[in-house]
Amino acid sequence: MAIARFKALELAQSRPTVPVKIPSEKVTDFYGSNTFNEEVMRSLLSPEAYLKITNAIEDGKKIDREAADEVAAAMKSWAISKGVTHYTHWFQPLTGTTAEKHDAFFDITGKGKAVEKFKGSALVQQEPDASSFPNGGIRSTFEARGYTAWDPSSPAFIMENVAGTATLCIPSVFVSYTGEALDYKTPLLKSSELIDRAATKVMNEYFNREVSKVTASVGVEQEYFLVDEALYNARPDLMMSGRTVFGHSPAKGQQLEDHYFGSIPPRVNAFMVDFELEALKLGMPVRTRHNEVAPAQFEVAPTFEEANLACDHNALLMDLMNKVASKHKMRVLFHEKPFAGINGSGKHNNWSLATNTGVNLLGPSTKPKENLRFLTFFVNTIKAVHDYADLLRASIATAGNEHRLGANEAPPAIVSIFIGTEMTRVLNDLENLSEMHDIKLEKGDNVYLRLGINKIPALLLDNTDRNRTSPFAFTGNKFEFRAVGSSANSAAPMTILNTIVANQLMQFREEVDVYLEKGIKKELAIVEVLKKYVKQSRKILFEGNGYSEEWAEEAKRRGLPNHKTTPEALKQYLDKSAIELFSKHGIFNEVEMHARYEIEIENYIKKIQIESRVAADLAINHIVSTSLKYQTQLVDNVRGQKEIGIDPQYFAPTIEIIKKISIYTSKINNLVELMTEARKEANNLENIGERAVIYSTTVKEYLEEIRYCVDKLELIVDDDEWPLPKYRELLLIR
């Protein structure tokens, strides 16, 4: 018998629900209690230091040494009072996970006396041994230094570890000694500043002098799978690559659609309540929880926040979920496609722009004047996505997401925008407006009425139709980038989106100003430019079924890019226009763009390489060996039947099975050999891009072929002997 699998099954089926202690009935009693938030700062800092740090948070002003020392001292005493023993700069290197290096507060003086120490300098900057983080060739090994620097705009927090200890985590950026960004946060912060500048200018010049700041708001809906820990541990492929490389679809998958919004199983519910409690303590506004489409698939969504905070919180939430899951003897799968043939997971990054005066610039209104403002930001976003669709595609290109994009259940690899019937009508009207010089304004005329922009329904929110198949959709008062992978760091796509929209808003201003200089009325000038943008961006607007074959063909006719593979998509980072765009705005310089390309492409190669190795190992050492053993039993059986004179017609089907096992096992042996050869050849290639292409084509094709044979064998070989937990077991036991 396949002992490991059955032991795991037994364990998984007998798990009790882990009880969860709720600290208080009222969330307000503990919300943010593990963060060094405004309230704590106000109570612990002198008014001067408090002011300095508030300025740093709001306007990015530098904090002087004195104030930093005071903040550090306050942080230390606050943390120690909560049982914290260590501190760390918490950052997001390009590995895709978060990084920490814990230092003790505790120190020894020269005289051997123990003291608790944490200076402003340690708060502000640290030098982790950075040589083991990806850098895309930026740092040569002899200059393997980098530093992390405190980001005061994201509150420090306490992460509870196992065994009751806890660490003070200080959100930080991570840069090389030569100043290049080595993380996700640095460019995001730069892009937030950029869009603030660009959008505030547009507001001030055309709509409202009072606005002094515009922030990008982001709300990240996070999908994930949950499987029992014992079953997970019995699947080396899940453990090593995050996805199953083999597994036949279960008889009951998602076809009954009974899981979506169904009741949440008790063990899962306990896990959700638990991680949400911890998230709330860390000041993350988690709100919704529900089942997703596939069995064992779920979603969590917090309320939207300022982009930097939202992206930090999403990364932290993923960390937290991993930790809490292990307490509940479960594993969270953030992989975009852990199970072939079953719905994949993504993030939906909801994005909008908000002014410091409390206005959502992507929210339509009942007032015509405000609607011109809305249309301005709405159309400019569409134009930006139209012009830089390639970059958005590149920002979400990974090995995991490649399985999902273009598969028949996720937004396709073609970037298009869905805006709903109402907004389609509004844009049609706008485009069909007569030329500006034909609009004769009489004294007392209502310019908005004449322009036809008095007709936008105020409550789009309720009547925007939903189109689940669109990778980029307008949903009433925000755009939703849905093609982001579930394991991604949200900051990467948000950096791109902020940058391209900011760039577009700057261009918009230049074009409007040309008309203004000619003495044309402001409203008419704005409408004229928007009208042109609608015309120019037409081809990216698509309201139909994004999953259909017809759309792929239609998109091709329209000339929209369709980069199906990761290496193809990532190449856009090296495009001259992309490098120009990012260096012009100081988001990435050319060196950083190349580094990012290299890191992402290297990640890609490594991931497929791991999958390929683990698949080869499982195929040969688990599947082929088990299948041959079973085949021997069948051969013995047939021989026995013959011996006692059974009519051959009755064991002919068994002989067929024996043959099939021979066919599939020999195929697997050959394919594994060929796949290993292909990897070798690829690895010998000097050019990393070319290497990645071999992985994305030849190696992946072998993986698919091997999988086909293994999945066939799963249907033949005695269930008692099958070594790997099956899909039905992974997905339905909880």
350 binds ligand ADP (CB under 6 A): yes
Single residue of 301, 324, 500, 730 touching ligand ADP by CB under 6 A: 301
475 binds ligand ADP (CB under 6 A): yes
Compare residues 50 and 304 and give the one whose CB is closer to ligand ADP.
304
Are 354 and 262 spatial neighbours (Cβ–Cβ below 8 Å)? no
Residues 364 and 370: their CA atoms lie apart, in Å, by 7
Compare residues 45 and 491 and give the one whose CB is closer to ligand ADP.
491
CB of 221 vs Mg ion, minimal distance in Å: 5
CB of 441 vs ligand ADP, minimal distance in Å: 34
356 binds ligand ADP (CB under 6 A): no
Residues 22 and 33: their CA atoms lie apart, in Å, by 14
Residues 143 and 129: their CA atoms lie apart, in Å, by 11
Burial class (CB in 10 A: 0-12, 13-18, 19+), 594: middle
478 binds Mg ion (CB under 5 A): no
Are 5 and 255 spatial neighbours (Cβ–Cβ below 8 Å)? no
Single residue of 77, 212, 303, 666 touching ligand ADP by CB under 6 A: 303
Task: Spell out the SS3 assignment of 345-409.
Answer: CEEEEEEEEEECCCCECCCCCCCHHHHHHHHHHHHHHHHHHHHCHHHHHHHCCCHHHHHHCCCCC
Are 624 and 666 spatial neighbours (Cβ–Cβ below 8 Å)? no
Strand, helix or coil at 104? strand
Residues 129 and 87: their CA atoms lie apart, in Å, by 16
Single residue of 281, 348, 386, 478 touching Mg ion by CB under 5 A: 348
Compare residues 336 and 387 and give the one whose CB is closer to Mg ion.
336
Q: Binders of ligand ADP: how many residues, by CB under 6 A? A: 15
- State the binding partner of 714 from Mg ion, ligand ADP, none, CB within 5 to 8 A by kind: none
Q: At what angle do helices 522-537 and 491-517 cross, to 10 degrees?
A: 130
Q: Binders of Mg ion: how many residues, by CB under 5 A? A: 1
- State the binding partner of 477 from ligand ADP, Mg ion, none, CB within 5 to 8 A by kind: ligand ADP
Residue 644 DSSP one-character state:
T
Q: At what angle do helices 648-683 and 590-617 cross, to 10 degrees?
A: 150
Contact range with ligand ADP by CB under 6 A, out of 4-12, 298-306, 619-627, 703-711: 298-306
Sign of the dihedral through C-alpha 553, 554, 557, 563: negative
Element (H, E) at 481: strand 479-485
304 binds ligand ADP (CB under 6 A): yes
Compare residues 468 and 660 and give the one whose CB is closer to ligand ADP.
468
- Residue 93 phi/psi, 5-degree rounding, is -70, 175
Strand partners, 35: 157
CB of 305 vs Mg ion, minimal distance in Å: 16
Pairing of strands 472-474, 417-418: parallel
CB of 351 vs Mg ion, minimal distance in Å: 11
217 binds ligand ADP (CB under 6 A): yes
734 binds ligand ADP (CB under 6 A): no
Compare residues 303 and 621 and give the one whose CB is closer to ligand ADP.
303
CB of 473 vs Mg ion, minimal distance in Å: 8
Single residue of 70, 151, 221, 312 touching ligand ADP by CB under 6 A: 221
Place of tokens 């911890």: 278
347 binds Mg ion (CB under 5 A): no
Residue 475 DSSP one-character state:
-
CB of 348 vs Mg ion, minimal distance in Å: 4
355 binds ligand ADP (CB under 6 A): no
End-to-end, the C-alpha distance of the chain in Å comes to: 23
Question: Which residues in 96-155 contact ligand ADP (CB under 6 A)?
Answer: none
CB of 499 vs Mg ion, minimal distance in Å: 23
For residue 636 the two structure tokens come to 């013995």
Contact range with ligand ADP by CB under 6 A, out of 67-75, 76-84, 175-183, 297-305: 297-305
Compare residues 158 and 392 and give the one whose CB is closer to Mg ion.
392
**C-alpha torsion angle, residues 302, 308, 309, 313 (rounded to 10):** 60
Q: Can you count the helices (H) and strands (E) in the chain?
A: 27, 17
CB of 223 vs ligand ADP, minimal distance in Å: 11
Place of tokens 């994305």: 696
Single residue of 356, 360, 697, 698 touching ligand ADP by CB under 6 A: 360
Which residues bind to Mg ion, rule: CB under 5 A? 348
**Binding positions for ligand ADP, rule: CB under 6 A:** 217-219, 221, 301-304, 350-352, 360, 475, 477-478
